[in-house]
Amino acid sequence: MEKSEFYREARRDLSGPLAGIRVLDVTTSWAGPMCACILADLGADVIKVEAIEGEVARRIPPFIEGSDPPVSFANATVNRNKRSLTLDLRKPEGRDIFLKLVARTDIIVENFRAGTLHKWGVGYDGVRAVKPDIVYVSITGWGQFGPSHDRAGYDPLAQAAGGFIALNGTPDGPPVKAPTFLCDDLAGLHGAIGAMAALRHRDRTGEGQHVDVALLDAMLFQSNGYPTLGALGIDIPRMGNQFTFSVPTNVYRCKDGKLVMAGILLDTHWKVLAHVMERPELADDPRFTTLAARMENRIEADRLVADWMAARTQADALEIWGREGLAAAPVRTHAEVARDPHVLARDMMQPVEHPGGATVPIVGPAAKFSRTPTRVRSAAPALGAHNDEVLGELGVGTDERTRLRAARVI
């Protein structure tokens, strides 16, 4: 299918499928901002409510070259498509302004330590007194309840406590964390899913609710059922780049030094591979014809593929495996990924102009909508860039805004 055919009935008058939904983003760092980012990408009007000094993501290096003032790559990525309002929620006037915004809001997303916003008068109970049907999403390390709920919780801690780190890495090496904020991303995704499900319930019944998302829970949910195996006392070995259910599978080095991730998923694929390797006798070799047999002879099966890859360039190996319908992909850096024609054709790197004139390729939304397309509509805003706009919508006049600035409320 051509891209133009997929979007042949696209509407251009909407920001996305969530157009008309208002979100207050009271978050910092990554998990909470990611949840609100997903909602913003889907077309919601997301107002990011930040402390006067700005949230943590604004200060995470490296910074985008040519941006003035300097823009963090993290902020540029996770706070696009939002409006920025600075507001000190610890002050009564800041709280009152926030609650006025709540009256016009559908969803609140927050990721402060459990109980923090309650102390400021803007927790779930305080908010639903103003807007009974509010959808209030809280994202924390360990959740709103449970023995550990009041502990500080960050992404690598959830990776460790959730079992991921113990299984990640080579079989003979130490446990290794993920190179990305994996738990934060997953919690943000579940927060957005939870928000939309609660919104659907509100639209049917008029009932709002509190949505509780923990980094640990998100990690466990996305652990492919391994917690069940653990509960049953079934050993889960650390496999590195190999799998228990696919043999041979590994990262293989080609003769040009480049790497290929490749694997045999089906017994029929082994017969095809025997043909590809010009070793027809292996197609019916009882050591390799079934997964169970290949598991028993994992080292030899893996060596056969490794030797074949070592005699070819990455490009040749990928062309042959692709032509024969076998599973293989190049091992690439993010710099290489960002230049890939397929990635670009999928609009996954979108040029966005930031304050100061720097144009930066920002990762685009993952889900594609044929009727209500989504995109990076606007760069991450400068701190407080929409103070006058948002407060003006509430009827706060120029003189009052000047007073609030002097009082450091905004």
Residues tagged active-site: 184
Question: Is the C-alpha dihedral spanning 59, 63, 64, 65 positive or negative?
Answer: positive
Give the integer Cα–Cα distance in Å for 190 and 212.
Answer: 10
Is the CB of residue 119 less than 8 Å from the CB of residue 102? no
* Chain centroid to CA 10: 25
The residues that bridge with 353 in the sheet, in sequence order, are: 359
**What residues contact 151, with CB distance under 8 A and at least 6 apart?**
141, 142
Is the CB of residue 143 less than 8 Å from the CB of residue 159? no
